[in-house]
Chains A and B, each alone.
Chain A
Amino acid sequence: MTAETGAARARAEAPDTVEDRALVVRGLTKEYRSGQPVLRGINLVFPGSGVTAIIGPSGTGKSTLIRCINRLVQPTSGEILFRGEDLAKLSGRALKNARRRIGMVFQEYNLVERLTVMENLLCGRLGYVPAWRAWLRRFPEHDIQRAFDLLDSVGLPGFAAQRADALSGGQRQRVGIARAIMQEPDIILADEPTSSLDPKTSVEIMEILQRVAQERAVPVIVNIHNVELARRYASRIVGMTGGHVVYDGSPEGLTDTDLKTIYGGESWIE
Chain B
Amino acid sequence: MTPQEPPTQRVAFAPNWGARIGWLLLAIYVVYAGSQLGFSAERFSAGLEHGHRFLARMFPPNFSRWELIASGIVESIQIAVIATFFGILLSLPVGLLAARNLTPVWISWPTRGFIALCRSFHPIIVAILFVKAIGFGALAGVMALIVASIGFISKLFAEAIEEISLKQVEAVRATGAGFLSTLIMGVQPQVLPRFIGFATYQLDSNLRNSTMVGIVGGGGIGAALFTAYQRFDFDVVLAILIIIVSLIMVAEIVSGWARRVFQ
Whether the Cβ atoms of B185 and A126 lie closer than 8 Å is yes
| Least CB distance, A189 to chain B, in whole angstroms | 9
Whether the Cβ atoms of B184 and A134 lie closer than 8 Å is yes
Whether the Cβ atoms of B178 and A96 lie closer than 8 Å is yes
Number of A-B contacts (CB under 8 A): 85
**B163 located at the interface, meaning its Cβ lies under 8 Å from any Cβ of chain A in the complex:** no
**B55 located at the interface, meaning its Cβ lies under 8 Å from any Cβ of chain A in the complex:** no
State which of A6-14, A108-116, A211-219 sits at the interface with chain B.
A108-116
Whether the Cβ atoms of B175 and A179 lie closer than 8 Å is yes
Given A115-B189, A129-B181, does the pair A124, B168 have CB atoms closer than 8 Å?
no
Most-contacted residue by chain A among B171, B172, B178, B189 (CB, 10 A): B171
How many of A's residues come within 8 Å of B, CB to CB?
33
Given A113-B190, A114-B190, A134-B184, does the pair A123, B171 have CB atoms closer than 8 Å?
yes
Whether the Cβ atoms of B175 and A72 lie closer than 8 Å is no
**B172: which A residues are within 8 A, CB to CB?**
112, 123, 126
**B189: which A residues are within 8 A, CB to CB?**
112-115, 119
B181 contact from A97, A106, A108, A131, Cβ within 8 A: A131
Interface majority SS on B: helix, strand, loop or mixed? helix
How many of B's residues come within 8 Å of A, CB to CB?
22
**A127 located at the interface, meaning its Cβ lies under 8 Å from any Cβ of chain B in the complex:** yes
**B173 located at the interface, meaning its Cβ lies under 8 Å from any Cβ of chain A in the complex:** yes
Given A99-B175, A112-B189, A114-B190, does the pair A126, B168 have CB atoms closer than 8 Å?
no
**A100 located at the interface, meaning its Cβ lies under 8 Å from any Cβ of chain B in the complex:** yes
**A101: which B residues are within 8 A, CB to CB?**
176
**A268 located at the interface, meaning its Cβ lies under 8 Å from any Cβ of chain B in the complex:** no
How many angstroms between the C-alpha atoms of A97 and B176 in the bound complex?
A: 6
Whether the Cβ atoms of B184 and A70 lie closer than 8 Å is no
Most-contacted residue by chain A among B173, B185, B186, B192 (CB, 10 A): B185
| Least CB distance, B257 to chain A, in whole angstroms | 20
Given A113-B190, A129-B181, does the pair A124, B170 have CB atoms closer than 8 Å?
no
**B21 located at the interface, meaning its Cβ lies under 8 Å from any Cβ of chain A in the complex:** no
**Minimal Cβ-Cβ distance residue in A for B165:** A113
| Least CB distance, B189 to chain A, in whole angstroms | 4
Given A126-B181, A134-B185, does the pair A106, B167 have CB atoms closer than 8 Å?
yes
A72 contact from B168, B170, B177, B180, Cβ within 8 A: B170
Whether the Cβ atoms of A123 and B185 lie closer than 8 Å is yes
**B30 located at the interface, meaning its Cβ lies under 8 Å from any Cβ of chain A in the complex:** no
**B174 located at the interface, meaning its Cβ lies under 8 Å from any Cβ of chain A in the complex:** yes
